[in-house]
Amino acid sequence: MSGLVMERISHAFGSTQVLRKVSLVAESGKLTCLLGPSGCGKTTLLRLAAGLETVQNGRITLRGEKVADNQEGLCLAPEKRGIGIMFQDYALFPHLNVFDNIAFGLSNLTDERRKWIEESLQRFGLAKHQHSFPHVLSGGQQQRVALLRALAPEPKILLLDEPFSGLDVTRRAQIREETLSFLKECGVAVLMVTHDPDEAMFMADHIVIMKRGEVVQAGTPVQIYFHPQNSFVAELFGELNHFEGLVHNGQVSTPFGACSIPSIPDQEKAQVLVRMEGIHVTMGHNKSAHDGKNITFGHVEEVFLLGRSSHLHIRVPGPNDQDSVILHVRVPGVLKPEFGAAVTVWTDEKQVFVFPAD
Amino acid sequence: MITNTPALASSRLRLPKVNGWAIGTLTIALIVVLPILWVVNLAMTPAGDIWSHLVETVLGQLIWTTLLLMTGVGLGTFIIGTATAWIVTMCRFPGQKIFEWALLIPMAVPAYVIAYVYTDLFEYAGPIQVFIRDVGGFEVRRDYWFPEIRSLGGAITMMTLVLYPYVYLLARSAFLNQNASVLEASRTLGQGPWKSFFKVALPLARPAIAVGVSLVMMETLNDYGTVDFFAVATFTTGIFDVWLNLNSPSGAAQLATVLLTFVIVLVGLERYQRRRQKFHQTSTTTKPFRGFQLKPLAALGAFLVCALPVTLGFLVPAWILGAYALDFYQDTLNASYWSFVANSLGLSAFAAFIAIVLGLFLAYSLRLGRARWLNLVTRLAALGYAVPGAVLAIGVIMFLGYTDNAIDGFAKSSFGVSTGLLFSGTVAAVIFAYVVRFLSLSFGSLESGLAKITNTMDGAARTLGAGPLATLKRVHLPMLKSSIMTAALLVFVDCMKELPMTTILRPFDFETLATFVHQYASDELLPEASLAALTIVATGIIPVILLSRTIAKSKVTQAHNEEVST
């Protein structure tokens, strides 16, 4: 069932167009992530969904009920929509204590809701802070109060604007996990905005990637990671090895041999992207490695120990015996090649992506 | 990210509302600016050869004396304010905690009150000279040297003693906000504590201190009671003199316009330094400085340096007034003290109320407004505070006189009735002048109060089901409550102390505490008026207490943040 549907949303501030015909669906019971660099319009989209910004173009439906449509001049006030939002700066009311902050949105504080608040506070270890004021809480505590405040009125959908960006890096992972399991228990539809790809992969059931006011790809984390539709999406998850060349007989040559590209016509430029962790390494020159498919030989130029993994620079011959090139490779920490060591490398087909050149 | 969501207006009501705000803001700004424009206009009107007469006779002297007064008070407050702020912030010695707020108290004493007290103490017939004559066996004034209190130097001293807290306050918060590690860095680079102060701390605090000194100078230009009482010829006294004794309103307006250029320079300086303050923020998260633990002798020195201004600026005058009040309170009561109290309270309370209503309107208009010009207009409406009371008094009289005549003329021609003077010489004129002058006080404190309510809080309230009015009632009003109280109190107390405008604009035979005290003190009857003077000082203490409480509170949060972060 569809929780929130936004259709063909366009929006401008003055002469700056921040959203161009953006459509997205956030399904009930699922966590949808809006992922993109800062300034791509994702927060504006959230504010439009909440009714904090007037829809200029497009339509928004919430559980099948229209809440905004520019053609009908309809734009329901935020208090009439039944959505919950957690702001990046939390926006807790400084004049109300923790309990009153959370209960702010409840027109009728029933015993059942009071119990829910108390239990939730208990769960997050905030029970003793019930009567404290927000300014005495730590960042993580404030974040959880803001989350509970947004959830208390049982909203149709919960909007989260960069929910973890205000937190200390050391606490972020833990709070992220706690928040995720709490949200799953609540079963509420969630639309979350983030610029952190790892966070999106960790939290989301569905990811919508935005760039300069447009959706560039939407799908499950698996689809996004293994089937990026363009280099922007592929590059979200870290630096890539990048090869470019002209297509010849439906193929483009790489240091690992020819790579077939049926989708690009001959004589056009194509780019081949390989994830750093998509390159496998074994010590010595071994012709039978990976059954001899897609292999090439080289030697280690530099080694950076990162702890759990190592970052290698490996020099291999270029395609068609041109100048040699340097591959950037991530290998597990147990593999500790030394400077100058001879290695055999091959690619994992799943982590090789081919696109027309930009 | 652009987040200029209107706080209260629901989407479809937006346009007409903005227009209402714009019109209201323009009207308020116009009303505030008109009296000042009237002065300038009057100064431009040819009025015989009064201007050349002024230039030949008094103008040079007025400019010179006023400059000397401003420089003297500026320098004095700079030294006392900065030194005490530095000692109290950086050093730890017995009494340091008390001095943190006690150094503010002289602010409660109006300059004219302290001038009366010290004149009473130091004049020829005063106890000190009597004592000197008794001990030294002198007969007459010629036989010994003693400084003349009724002089320019006396005026500088009096004003310095009560105005230095402005510099102290701003310098102290600048020192507090300086990251301790900046100073530590200076120390590790081989600079001693003194050198670090002059090379790092003082330059970093310079914009804040400059703001404080410009505020002090504005107050100096505004003063009327002290210079009138000491017969020091500054612009303020000059304006009144030309107006009332030479009977030349346009001459007074011309002097007032020259004075206004002084003010414009000061306002420009203040604004410039305020902008620079932002760049001098060394860090957003500051690690508070632990402070030097002073050795006994140094501690005594620090104690004395801090105790001196508090003693001279508050304890001595309060003690003398208190002693007189005990002996002579019956005389004050006989002079219908209670009716003066009622007049002062009534005027101040009413002016405070209007200033709050208008200030709230301006602050919301600024928050909702998206038009740049509205912003500018709002700032204009808050300029009255810089304009000296003497200038405003002329402007208000001229403006209201014109309005009265216009209404009268209109009524005569349309209905054949004369309305006479509706506003001139009534309490309405006094309240109008108060509001024009003190509107910026209420606006400023309400604006900073509103700034604490972020747009996301509005968003949170609205998404949690509270409509615009409910948001106003449940979020804005509770959060603004203390700002409104502070704003009202600041305006109220400044109205209670106000002298030049009240003297000129009040109805005939209408006395407030301030005019009564000035009248009696000028007639050498300070003891008989001491209860009234003490009342003014006592009211002045309320905002000082409030101020020191916010300072103490900010320290609690600071201490707490340290606790959380460690």
- pLDDT higher for B287 or B227? B227
Whole-angstrom Cα distance, residue B544 to residue B220?
Answer: 20
Q: Is the pLDDT of residue B11 over 60?
A: no
B102 and B185 in a single domain? The answer is yes
- In order of A193, A275, A355, the CA distances from A225 in angstroms are 18, 10, 15
Q: Tell whether B75 and B63 lie within a shared domain.
A: yes
Whether residues A105 and B467 touch (CB distance < 8 A) is answered with: no
- Report the gap between the CA of A134 and the closest CA in chain B (Å): 11
- Nearest residue of B to residue A103 by CA position? B464
Q: Is B476 on the interface with A (CB under 8 A)?
A: no
Contacts of B460 in chain A (CB under 8 A): 85, 87, 91, 93, 104, 149-150
Which residues lie across from A86 on neighbouring strands?
Answer: A160
CA atoms of A235 and B493, how far apart (whole Å):
64
Residues B225 and B167 in one domain: yes
Q: Quick one: closest CA in B to A108, which residue?
A: B465
pLDDT in tens, B64-103: 999 999 999 999 999 999 999 999 988 889 988 889 889 9
**Could you give the 3-state DSSP secondary structure of residue A197?**
helix
* Cβ–Cβ below 8 Å for B465 and A135: no
B325 shares a domain with B288: no
B370's CB contacts (< 8 A; 6+ apart) are B4, B18
Give yes or no for a contact between B241 and B248, defined as CB atoms under 8 angstroms apart: no
Domains identified in chain B, total number: 2
Same domain? For B93 and B219 the reply is yes
Instruction: State how far residue A228 is from chain B, nearest Cα, in angstroms.
Output: 28
- Would the CB atoms of B456 and A89 count as touching at under 8 Å? yes
Name the CATH architecture for the domain at A238-356.
Answer: Beta Barrel (2.40)
Q: What is the pLDDT of residues B404-419, one digit of tens each?
A: 888 888 888 888 877 7
Nearest residue, CB atoms, B460 vs list A75, A77, A87: A87
d(CA B451, CA A52): 19
Interface residue A181 vs chain B (CB under 8 A): no
Nearest to A179 by CA among A147, A210, A227: A147
Radius of gyration of chain A from Cα atoms?
25
Domain hosting B507: range is: 16-45+321-536
Domain boundaries, chain A: 2-234, 238-356
Cα distance from N-terminal residue to C-terminal residue, chain A: 38
pLDDT tens sequence for chain A (358 residues): 678 999 999 999 888 899 999 999 999 889 999 999 988 889 999 999 998 888 999 999 999 899 999 998 888 888 888 889 998 888 888 888 999 999 988 888 899 999 999 999 999 999 999 999 888 898 899 999 999 999 999 999 999 999 998 888 888 889 999 999 999 988 899 999 999 999 999 999 999 999 999 999 999 999 999 899 999 999 888 888 888 888 888 888 888 888 888 788 888 888 889 998 888 888 888 888 777 778 888 889 888 888 888 889 999 888 766 678 889 998 887 677 788 888 999 888 888 888 888 7
Per the domain annotation, does B344 fall within a domain?
yes
B2 part of a folded domain: no
| Burial of residue B132, with CB atoms counted within 10 A of its CB: 0-12 exposed, 13-18 middle, 19 or more buried | middle
Q: What is the pLDDT of residue B413?
A: 84
3-class DSSP state of A306: coil
Nearest by CB to A79, which of B452, B465, B475? Answer: B465
Closest Cβ opposite residue B557 in set A51, A135, A149: A135
B414 plus B514 within the same structural domain: yes
Q: Are A23 and A7 in contact (CB under 8 A)?
A: yes
Looking at the predicted structure, is the pLDDT value of residue B190 above 80?
A: no
A94 has a chain B CB within 8 A of its CB: yes
- 3-state SS assignment for residue B307: helix
Question: What pLDDT score was predicted for residue B69?
Answer: 95
Q: Indicate if B24 and B97 belong to the same structural domain.
A: no
pLDDT exceeding 90 applies to what percent of chain B?
Answer: 24
Cβ-based neighbour number of residue A73 at 10 Å: 10
Given B294, B310, B342, the domain boundary residue is: B294
How far is the C-alpha of B34 from the C-alpha of B436, rounded, in Å? Answer: 10
Mutate to test the interface with A, among B463, B477, B483 (most CBs of A within 10 A): B463
Q: Find the helix or strand (DSSP H, E) in which B431 lies.
A: helix B427-451
Please answer yes or no on whether A78 and B462 come within 8 Å at the CB atom.
Answer: yes
Q: Is A27 helix (H, G, I), strand (E, B) or coil?
A: strand
Tokens coding A318: 């270029």
B251 lies in the same domain as B325: no
Q: What is the ipTM of this complex?
A: 0.74
A50/B10 CB distance under 8 A? no
Both B350 and B236 in a single domain? no
Helix/strand/coil percent split, chain A, to 5: 30, 40, 35
- Give the separation between CA B491 and CA B542, rounded to whole angstroms: 12
- The superfamily in CATH containing domain A2-234 is P-loop containing nucleotide triphosphate hydrolases (3.40.50.300)
Q: Cβ–Cβ of B465/A43 closer than 8 Å?
A: no
Residue of chain A whose alpha carbon sits nearest to that of B10: A77
Q: What tokens were used for B261?
A: 């250029």
Burial of B445 (C-beta count, 10 Å sphere; 0-12/13-18/19+): buried
Based on the domain organization, do B61 and B159 belong to the same domain? yes
| Angular region, A315: left φ>0, alpha ψ -120 to 50, beta rest | beta
Listed residue (B486, B113, B168) closest to B317, CA to CA: B113
Task: Tell me, yes or no, whether B9 lies in a domain.
Answer: no
Report the C-alpha gap between B271 and B20 in whole angstroms. 29
How many other CB atoms sit within 10 Å of the CB of residue B68? 16
Judgement on whether residues B235 and B332 belong to the same structural domain of the protein: no
**CB contact set of B410 (below 8 Å; sequence gap of 6+):** none
Same domain, B167 and B114: yes
Q: Give the CATH number for residue B388.
A: 1.10.3720.10
Of the ranges B142-156, B279-293, B496-510, which is most confident? Answer: B496-510
pTM greater than the 0.90 cutoff: no
Q: Is residue B313 part of a domain?
A: no
A246 forms bridges with which residues in the sheet? A269
Contacts of A212 (CB under 8 A, 6+ apart): A40, A41
The DSSP output letter for A127 is: G
Task: Tell if the CB–CB gap between B10 and A77 is shorter than 8 Å.
Answer: yes
